[in-house]
Amino acid sequence: MAGLPAIDAPRGAYRERAIVPARTALLNVDMQNGEFNAQILARARMPGTPEAPKRAFYERIDSVVIPNQARLQEAARTAGIEVIFTVLESLTQDGRDRSLDHKISGLNFPKGCWEAKVIEAVGPRGDEIVIPKTASGIFNATNIEYVLRNLGVEFLVIYGVVTDQCVESAIRDAADRGFLVTQIEDCCAAETPENHIASIESMNGHYCRTRSTDAMIAEIERLLKQRLS
Amino acid sequence: MAGLPAIDAPRGAYRERAIVPARTALLNVDMQNGEFNAQILARARMPGTPEAPKRAFYERIDSVVIPNQARLQEAARTAGIEVIFTVLESLTQDGRDRSLDHKISGLNFPKGCWEAKVIEAVGPRGDEIVIPKTASGIFNATNIEYVLRNLGVEFLVIYGVVTDQCVESAIRDAADRGFLVTQIEDCCAAETPENHIASIESMNGHYCRTRSTDAMIAEIERLLKQRLS
Amino acid sequence: MAGLPAIDAPRGAYRERAIVPARTALLNVDMQNGEFNAQILARARMPGTPEAPKRAFYERIDSVVIPNQARLQEAARTAGIEVIFTVLESLTQDGRDRSLDHKISGLNFPKGCWEAKVIEAVGPRGDEIVIPKTASGIFNATNIEYVLRNLGVEFLVIYGVVTDQCVESAIRDAADRGFLVTQIEDCCAAETPENHIASIESMNGHYCRTRSTDAMIAEIERLLKQRLS
Amino acid sequence: MAGLPAIDAPRGAYRERAIVPARTALLNVDMQNGEFNAQILARARMPGTPEAPKRAFYERIDSVVIPNQARLQEAARTAGIEVIFTVLESLTQDGRDRSLDHKISGLNFPKGCWEAKVIEAVGPRGDEIVIPKTASGIFNATNIEYVLRNLGVEFLVIYGVVTDQCVESAIRDAADRGFLVTQIEDCCAAETPENHIASIESMNGHYCRTRSTDAMIAEIERLLKQRLS
Q: Is the separation of the CB atoms in C111 and C90 below 8 Å?
A: yes
pLDDT at D109 over 50: yes
- CB distance D151–C91 less than 8 Å? no
With beta carbons under 8 A apart, name residues in chain B contacting C178: 149-150
Average pLDDT rounded to a whole number, residues B158-177: 98
Residues β-bridged to residue B159: B28
Residues of C in contact with D98 (CB under 8 A): 150
Cα(B102)–Cα(B107) distance, integer angstroms: 5
**pLDDT at residue number A142:** 98
Residues of D in contact with B165 (CB under 8 A): 206
SS3 content of chain D, % helix, strand, coil (to 5): 50, 15, 35
| Residue A3 banded pLDDT, cuts 50, 70, 90 | confident
- pLDDT tens digits along A155-192: 999 999 999 999 999 999 999 999 999 999 999 999 99
Which pLDDT does position D2 carry in this prediction? 53
C135 has pLDDT over 70: yes
CA distances from D30 to B214, D80, D158, D184 (A): 38, 23, 11, 15
Q: Give the whole-number percent of chain B exceeding pLDDT 90.
A: 97
Across residues D182-192, what is the average pLDDT? 98
CA distance B228 to chain D (A): 30
Given D100, D129, D130, which is nearest C150 (Cβ)?
A: D100
The stretch D179-201 carries a mean pLDDT of: 97
Sign of CA dihedral D45, D51, D54, D59: negative
Based on its alpha-carbon atoms, the radius of gyration of chain D, rounded to whole angstroms, reads 18
Of C94, C98, C151, which is closest to D96 when you measure between CB atoms? C151
User: What is the distance of C-alpha D11 from the center of its chain?
Assistant: 25
**Cα–Cα distance measured from residue B24 to residue B73, given in angstroms and rounded to the nearest whole number:** 12
pLDDT for the residue A4: 85
Q: How many angstroms away from the CA of B34 is the closest CA of chain D?
A: 19
Q: In this predicted structure, what is the pLDDT of residue A2?
A: 53
| pLDDT mean over A64-90 | 98
CB B147 within 8 A of CB A91: yes
Whether residue A129 lies within 8 A of chain B, CB to CB, comes out as yes
- Gap between the Cα atoms of D134 and A42, Å rounded: 56
Strand partners, C159: C28
Kindly determine whether residue B127 and residue A100, on different chains, have CB atoms separated by under 8 Å: no
Half-sphere exposure of D49 (CA within 13 A, CB side): 13
Tell me if A9 sits within 8 A of A202, measured CB to CB.
no
**Sequence letter at residue A219:** E
Cα–Cα dist A192/A184, whole Å: 17
Q: Which of D145, D151, D176 to mutate to probe the A interface, most A CBs <10 Å?
A: D145
pLDDT by residue (tens digit) across D21-43? 999 999 999 999 999 999 999 99
pLDDT at residue C4, as a whole number: 85
C127 touches chain D (CB under 8 A): yes
Q: Which residues of A touch D149 (CB under 8 A)?
A: 177-178
Q: What mean pLDDT is predicted for residues D73-102?
A: 98
**Residue B15 to residue C173: CA distance in whole angstroms:** 31
CA B169/CA B135 separation, integer angstroms: 10
Which band of pLDDT confidence, cut at 50, 70 and 90, is reported for residue D163?
A: very high
Mean pLDDT of A56-80: 98
Residue B70 and residue B28: Cα distance in Å, rounded? 11
Cβ-defined contact of A141 to C176 (cutoff 8 Å): yes
pLDDT for the residue C228: 87
When computed from its CA atoms, the radius of gyration of chain B, rounded to whole angstroms, is 18
CA C166/CA A148 separation, integer angstroms: 24
C142 touches D: beta carbon within 8 Å? yes
Does A50 contact chain D (CB < 8 Å)? no
Tell me if chain A has a CB within 8 Å of the CB of C108. no
Are A8 and C202 a contacting pair at CB < 8 A? no
Chain C residues touching A180 at Cβ < 8 A:
100
Q: Is the peptide bond before A162 cis (omega within 30 degrees of 0)?
A: yes
What average pLDDT does this structure show over C90-118? 98
Kindly report the nearest CA distance between residue B212 and chain C, in angstroms: 29
A63 C-beta neighbours (distance < 10 Å), count: 10
A38–C contact, CB cutoff 8 A: no
Q: Mutate which of C101, C143, C199 to test chain A, going by most A C-beta atoms within 10 A?
A: C101
What's the average model confidence in pLDDT over C184-193? Answer: 97
Q: pLDDT digits over B94-137, tens only?
A: 999 999 999 999 999 999 999 999 999 999 999 999 999 999 99
* Closest C-alpha among A139, A113, C66 to residue B146: A139
Is A137 near chain C, with CB under 8 Å?
A: yes
What is the percent of chain B where pLDDT is above 70? 99
| B152 and chain C in contact, CB less than 8 A | no
Range of weakest confidence among A204-208, B7-11, C113-117: B7-11
Minimum CA–CA partner of A145 in chain D: D177
Report in angstroms the alpha-carbon separations of A208 from A9, A38, A182, B99, B147.
15, 33, 5, 27, 29
Q: If you count residue pairs, one on B and one on D, with CB atoms under 8 Å apart, how many are there? A: 95
Instruction: Please give the pLDDT value at position B2.
Output: 53
Under DSSP, the state recorded for D10 is: G
HEC string of chain B equals CCCCCCCCCHHHHHHHCCCCHHHEEEEEECCECCCCCHHHHHHHCCCCCCCHHHHHHHHHHHHHHHHHHHHHHHHHHHCCCEEEEEEECCCCCCCCCCCHHHHHCCCCCCCCCHHHCECHHHCCCCCCEEEEECCCCHHHHCCHHHHHHHHCCCEEEEEEECHHHHHHHHHHHHHHCCCEEEEEHHHCECCCHHHHHHHHHHHECCCEEEECHHHHHHHHHHHHHHHHC
Model confidence at B70: pLDDT above 70: yes
Phi and psi based region of residue A12 (left: phi greater than 0; alpha: psi -120 to 50; beta: remaining): left
Q: Is C8 on the interface with B (CB under 8 A)?
A: no
Contact D104 B164 (CB under 8 A): no
Coil/strand/helix, residue D72: helix
CB contact under 8 A, A147 and B99: no
pLDDT digits (tens, 9 = 90+) for B202-211: 999 999 999 9
**Beta-bridge mates of residue A158:** A27, A183
Task: Give yes or no for a cis peptide into B130 (omega within 30° of 0).
Answer: no
> Is the pLDDT confidence value at C3 over 80?
no
Q: What pLDDT shows up at residue A228?
A: 87
User: Residues of D numbered 154-213 whose beta carbons fall under 8 angstroms of chain B's beta carbons: which are they?
Assistant: 164-165, 168-169, 172-173, 175-180, 195, 198-199, 202, 206-207
pLDDT score recorded for residue A229:
84
Please compute Rg for chain A using Cα positions.
18
Chosen from C82, C107, C127, C131 to mutate, greatest number of chain D CBs within 10 A: C127
Instruction: Return the residue of B nearest to C176 by Cα.
Output: B146
CA quadruple B3, B4, B9, B11: dihedral sign: positive
Which residues from C are below 8 Å from A135, CB to CB? 175-177
The span from the CA of D44 to the CA of D57, in Å, is 9
Q: Are strands B155-160 and C24-29 parallel, antiparallel or unpaired?
A: unpaired
pTM here? 0.97
Whether D1 has a pLDDT exceeding 50, the answer reads no
- For the residues D55-70, what does the mean pLDDT come to? 98
Measure Cα distances from C42 to A141, C33, C39, C99, D206 in Å. Answer: 44, 14, 5, 31, 61
Q: Tell me the average pLDDT across D208-220.
A: 98
DSSP assignments along A73-95, one per residue:
HHHHHHTT-EEEEEEE--SSSS-
The answer on pLDDT for D228 being more than 90 is no
Stretch D149-157: mean pLDDT: 98
Distances (CA, A) of C163 to A202, C74, C199, D96: 12, 22, 7, 29
What is the average pLDDT score of chain A? Answer: 97
Alpha-carbon separation of residue D72 from B27, C10, C55, D25 (angstroms): 41, 62, 53, 12
Mean pLDDT score, A188-198: 97
Q: Which of A92, A127, A134 lies nearest to residue B127, judging by beta carbons?
A: A92
C49, C131 Cβ separation under 8 angstroms? no
A131 touches chain B (CB under 8 A): yes
pLDDT for position A110 = 98
Contacts of B149 in chain C (CB under 8 A): 177-178
> In degrees rounded to 5, what are phi and psi of residue D53?
-65, -20
Share of chain A above pLDDT 70, in %: 99
Q: How far is A58 from chain C (nearest CA, A)?
A: 20
Cβ-based neighbours of D225, under 8 Å, separated by 6 or more: none
pLDDT at D3 over 90: no
Q: Tell me the average pLDDT of chain D.
A: 97
**C91 contacts C97 by C-beta, under 8 angstroms:** yes
Provide the pLDDT for residue C179. 98
- Whole-angstrom CA distances from A183 to A22, A50, A76, A193 are 18, 30, 15, 16
pLDDT band of C229, cuts 50, 70, 90: confident
Whether B171 shows a pLDDT value over 60: the answer reads yes
SS3 C100: helix
Say if the Cβ atoms of A101 and C14 lie within 8 Å. no
Alpha-helical (H) ranges within chain C are: 38-44, 55-60, 66-78, 100-104, 138-141, 144-151, 168-176, 193-203, 213-228
